[in-house]
Amino acid sequence: MVPPGEFLLQSSDFACFLARAENECEKQSGFGVPNPDGLDLHKREGRRRRRVEPGPCLHVFWCCLADDRFLDTAYDVGSRLPSLDLAKGRTIGAIAIKLEDVSKQFEGAATPAVTSLDLDIEEGSIVVLIGPSGCGKTTTLRMINRLIEPTAGRIDINGKDVTQRPVAELRREIGYVIQQVGLFPHQTIAANIATVPKMLGWEKQRISDRIEELADLVGLESSLLDRYPDELSGGQQQRVGVARALAADPPVLLMDEPFGAVDPIVRTRLQDELLELQARVGKTIVLVTHDIDEALKIADRIALLNVGGILEQYSSPDELLAEPANRFVEEFVGEDRSVKRLQLRTVADLPLNRGPVVAATDGAAAARSVMEEYSTEWVGVTSQDVFLGWVHVDDLQDNVPLESAPRSVPAAQVQPGSTLRNAMQIIMTSHTSAAVIEDEGRFGGIVTLELIRASLEAETGR
């Protein structure tokens, strides 16, 4: 183990998790659950934690730190309260959109565009429709808001058959974002965003407030609101399209290849922004893409369709990669499935591994014992749960405290939110065998290549 240099990754921000949980419970149950003990409150993703100031009421989920271990408490406030996806901080529960035996046969076509499709899409989730050309993914999307009428089957949104509702009323409750954005070129950005609220007869002040709110939400500078679409970049136009789709606060958002017309760098940034936005607004999103990497990155569940709208697999991204249903799925996701899985998992998903680490108060004898146990010439030293550095066996002296021994800073450091792919790259490029987990200043354990491999194998074998 050679620990020269230092490398620290930044992790995602889960700052809105409890706020989202609190808001959802307030909306659905009408009452809150107090923090009974007045303890310091935290939230976490895996072993990640971030301090949350105690308030009069945290309605759904709170964690307290006691004896260096998390105690999780979830309060049951009735069957109306949906579950929480802790990994993404979203509310996911009841079925928002249900497709039951849905088919579409276009006039003059020899085969159906969509064949007996069944899908349950949970509230607050992102579902991605993907597949080769001719698989009916866009047709399926357009049947949800009746831009295309199904030939057979039933589509429900929040328990109501879409074909039994007036089309105009239905579409006002569904946001729609397309690849070329479709902004009105003769209208300002503000006017574009205000399209649906104006149709609904909102008052001017309410519309103005909503435009400002949405501009801030999607990251548009207020100075752009008086400009016209052709004065904006492709990425900015796409943000306007999302803002317009969200203007009337619809529960459902349909997105047809929304990032297909921008360059790869902007595309990646817009994907990240969509995930951040979803963590704040919690919409039910159905998105069409031809890009498997995009689907794996943003989806809660992926519906992989074959030609003719035949559903080959409907599962989480990790399950799609780990357990492809058939040869078609294997070929579609590619041979590098294991590498792609590394991008989906984070360090926080790994089992806790302290590795060859001792406390500064343990002494040289304990350090040598740990070195022998792990067959290594290096031992990590911590003080008050802070990693001080690596000490070599030659620098151990029985009469010298460990914290006074010469130390090397970690060559590789990661955080709980770091992807396993990043962790692997850091370990390999640092020419060391392990990375130290730095968890907001506290020692969070050790990551090794073997631990990553074993974890993925265990998940696949379940």
> pLDDT band at residue 335, thresholds of 50, 70 and 90?
confident
Helix axes 264-281, 204-218, angle to 10 degrees: 120
Residues 6+ apart with CB under 8 A from 17: 43, 45, 86, 89, 279
Distance CA 190, CA 241 (A): 11
> pLDDT band at residue 115, thresholds of 50, 70 and 90?
very high
pLDDT, one tens digit per residue, over 378-425 is 999 999 889 999 999 999 988 888 888 898 888 899 999 888 888 888
pLDDT of 17 strictly over 60:
no
> pLDDT band at residue 180, thresholds of 50, 70 and 90?
low
CA-wise closest residue to 18 among 72, 95, 96: 72
Residues 6+ apart with CB under 8 A from 366: 358
Who has greater pLDDT, 79 or 314? 314
Other CB atoms within a 10 A radius of the CB of residue 328 amount to 17
Mean pLDDT value of segment 85-95: 54
> pLDDT band at residue 461, thresholds of 50, 70 and 90?
low
pLDDT of 114 strictly over 90:
yes
Residue 269 burial by Cβ neighbours in a 10 Å radius (0-12, 13-18, 19+): middle
> Hey, what are 437's tokens?
């987990």
Distance CA 462, CA 4 (A): 38
pLDDT, one tens digit per residue, over 234-270 is 888 888 888 888 888 889 999 898 887 677 777 888 8
Who has greater pLDDT, 357 or 29? 357
Mean pLDDT of the chain: 78
What is the signed CA dihedral for 45, 50, 53, 56, rounded to 10 degrees?
0
Write down the pLDDT at residue 382.
Answer: 92
Helix (H, G, I), strand (E, B) or coil at 163: helix
pLDDT, one tens digit per residue, over 365-380 is 999 999 999 888 999 9
pLDDT, one tens digit per residue, over 123-132 is 999 999 999 9
pLDDT of 103 strictly over 90:
yes
Report CA 13 to chain centroid distance, whole Å: 11
Mean pLDDT value of segment 5-19: 31
Who has greater pLDDT, 190 or 431? 190
pLDDT of 36 strictly over 60:
no
Distance CA 231, CA 189 (A): 10
Domains of the chain (ranges, CATH numbers)? 17-88 (no CATH), 94-345 (3.40.50.300), 348-461 (3.10.580.10)
Distance CA 138, CA 287 (A): 9
Mean pLDDT value of segment 16-39: 38
Write down the pLDDT at residue 419.
Answer: 86
Contact 127, 144 (CB under 8 A): no
Identify which of 40-54, 65-79, 404-418 has the greatest average pLDDT.
404-418
pLDDT of 87 strictly over 50:
no
* Residue 80 identity (one-letter amino acid): R
The DSSP element (H or E) to which 261 belongs, if any, is: none
Return phi, psi of residue 95, to 5°. -75, 120
pLDDT, one tens digit per residue, over 421-443 is 888 888 888 888 889 999 988 99
Write down the pLDDT at residue 75.
Answer: 27
Mean pLDDT value of segment 305-327: 93
Mean pLDDT value of segment 158-171: 92
pLDDT of 73 strictly over 50:
no
Mean pLDDT value of segment 56-85: 30
> Hey, what are 134's tokens?
């001719």
Give the position of tokens 């506290």.
442
Mean pLDDT value of segment 287-303: 92
Distance CA 57, CA 124 (A): 23
Distance CA 259, CA 355 (A): 43
Residues 6+ apart with CB under 8 A from 296: 302, 317, 320, 321, 340, 343, 344
Order of strands, sheet of 126-130, starting from the edge strand that comes earlier in the sequence: 174-178, 252-256, 284-288, 126-130, 301-306, 310-315
pLDDT of 56 strictly over 70:
no
Please report which residue ranges of 282-406 form alpha helices under DSSP H. 292-298, 317-322, 327-333, 337-344, 364-374
Write down the pLDDT at residue 459.
Answer: 63
CA distances from 325 to 331, 353, 389 (A): 11, 33, 46
Write down the pLDDT at residue 93.
Answer: 64
Write down the pLDDT at residue 460.
Answer: 57
Helix (H, G, I), strand (E, B) or coil at 81: coil
Other CB atoms within a 10 A radius of the CB of residue 424 amount to 18
Mean pLDDT value of segment 346-350: 88
Mean pLDDT value of segment 115-141: 94
Mean pLDDT value of segment 313-330: 92
Give the position of tokens 């590098």.
336
Write down the pLDDT at residue 148.
Answer: 95
Distance CA 244, CA 5 (A): 48
* Least confident among 1-5, 23-27, 457-461: 1-5
Write down the pLDDT at residue 113.
Answer: 95
**Which residues pair with residue 50 across a beta bridge?**
43
* Long-range contacts, stretch 453-462, CB < 8 angstroms, 24+ apart: 455/345, 455/349, 455/350, 455/351, 455/420, 456/322, 456/338, 456/341, 456/342, 456/345, 456/420, 459/318, 459/322, 460/322, 460/323
Who has greater pLDDT, 27 or 33? 27
Residue 240 burial by Cβ neighbours in a 10 Å radius (0-12, 13-18, 19+): buried
**Which residues pair with residue 92 across a beta bridge?**
83
Mean pLDDT value of segment 157-172: 91
